[in-house]
Structure 1
């Protein structure tokens, strides 16, 4: 799966090139300047301008300054262009790049991974798995990440909901393990949180879904971050500042061993359902 999967997933630099090129094309068109005229004035070739606007090549800082000197956009537009240029040099997975490129793009990337994988294993520490979230809970999570515009929040939530179509596809299996703390972490109203917990209980009954809870008093293995395993080909791990992606067999084997250790500690089936029930009863009493 790996080669086809990676070919289908644009990294953040590719996305940044496309967005930067689109922004340059837009301000050029607003200035009613032809590509050839811009190329002459900026001392560049017309094919290079075309490739920059299409996102096929990354411009240098000299290219950008030459283009801006000709187009003379408003100061806030110029700052936006320069900020988009900065994304080209950010490390892959940097959370600032993910946010600036649009949070919906990350949801689309995960949807492509989930489309191609047959076995998906997820471990989370403080939130309930995205593939099992209600719309209200997902909206609370996305809204809490950063002060995004409302349209970006709506788009990201829509994309997250679309990802859940995979749960009903034949031939796919899903294994979710969370720390017990994730059941209690509130990202929405009490009523919405109760609906979210009930959603988990419903999905647990599906034959292709296994949901486990590691209780708060369990001795944890050396796992400190959330991660997603797609078959045995690709792992995405979340840190405070970035997302770490790996396709190296050795690294993936480490995450598989970590997931197996968590599986040995977790409670499943009726035992997990009882823990969720306890959380729901406590929430109802306190609300």
Structure 2
């Protein structure tokens, strides 16, 4: 099955239709299938109508109940993976208004309790100074005043002690000169100060040393239930447990490369000092 980002909304309905067809081929009513799978008939109906995204456990139960052959299982699993993936391209985000994306992110941050951020090439809005946020949006053709304000409002979530944040920043992300030297020094100082928050764990990954794992993207893991992966053209949302597990494992490896606590603050202070003549 080929991967076409522009068609990522379709597999959810394709999966629902295929499961319904397979159930009928097996000669089962929705009620009989539900009893075999130990789930409610209404849930089976919602799955077959595309209103509920089935979990892997749901799929395993359904496929076992209809005695699906290996080739059918492979097709269903492939569709399920795509059904748990969404693509939001930057052009459509800009058309809708970038401040709406900020509202969606705020909703995610409100509902989740554990966050893992890996920042490959730049600093995320939650950690940014107003000057850094403004510079990061400088090339947007739209008015970004509301977006800047919304990004700054979102930073309040860092003070919510019921939530836990781990940020991993590469040296490139910290030191990329998006701002003039004095402003960059202030941005780096902000990172060092945030490391004092009890519910924030901020690590920096220096370039020096041997690091055999090479990360390719910026990504965020929310509560082990959702991963967002960012690139130049947009954002991919991953809900498949296999994709989430892969990113959790990658994050753990990258944590081993990072410096935390006093070591991180000392390194950040030295990078801040180097910004100034």
Residue of structure 1 aligned with 2:191, choices 188, 200, 204: 200
Q: How does 1:1-287 map to 2 (within 5 A)?
A: 92-143=87-138, 146-149=139-142, 152-218=143-209, 219-285=211-277
Paired with 2:104 and 2:247, the residues of 1 have a C-alpha distance of 20
SS at match of 1:114: helix
Paired with 1:239 and 1:194, the residues of 2 have a C-alpha distance of 26
Tell me, yes or no, if the aligned pair for 2:228 and 2:235 is still in contact at 8 Å.
yes
Shift of 1:148: 2.2
Q: Which residue of 2 aligns with 1:82?
A: none
SS at match of 2:137: helix
Tell me, yes or no, if the aligned pair for 2:186 and 2:272 is still in contact at 8 Å.
no
Deviates more, 1:225-234 or 1:215-224: 215-224
SS at match of 1:92: strand
How many residues in Structure 1 have an aligned counterpart in Structure 2?
Answer: 193
Tell me, yes or no, if the aligned pair for 2:185 and 2:273 is still in contact at 8 Å.
no
* Aligned-residue CA RMSD (Å): 1.7
Tell me, yes or no, if the aligned pair for 1:212 and 1:266 is still in contact at 8 Å.
yes
| Uncovered stretches (5+) of structure 2, i.e. residues with no partner | 1-8, 10-85
Of Structure 1 and Structure 2, which has the larger fraction of its residues in helix?
1
CA offsets per residue over residues 175-219 of structure 1, 9 Å max, x none?
Answer: 000111112112222222111111111110011000111111241
Shift of 1:275: 1.2
Tell me, yes or no, if the aligned pair for 2:204 and 2:259 is still in contact at 8 Å.
yes
SS at match of 1:237: strand
TM-score between the two structures when normalised by the length of structure 1: 0.64
Paired with 1:137 and 1:243, the residues of 2 have a C-alpha distance of 21
Closer, same or farther: CA 220–196 of 1 in aligned 2, 3 Å = farther
| Uncovered stretches (5+) of structure 1, i.e. residues with no partner | 1-12, 14-90
SS at match of 1:216: coil
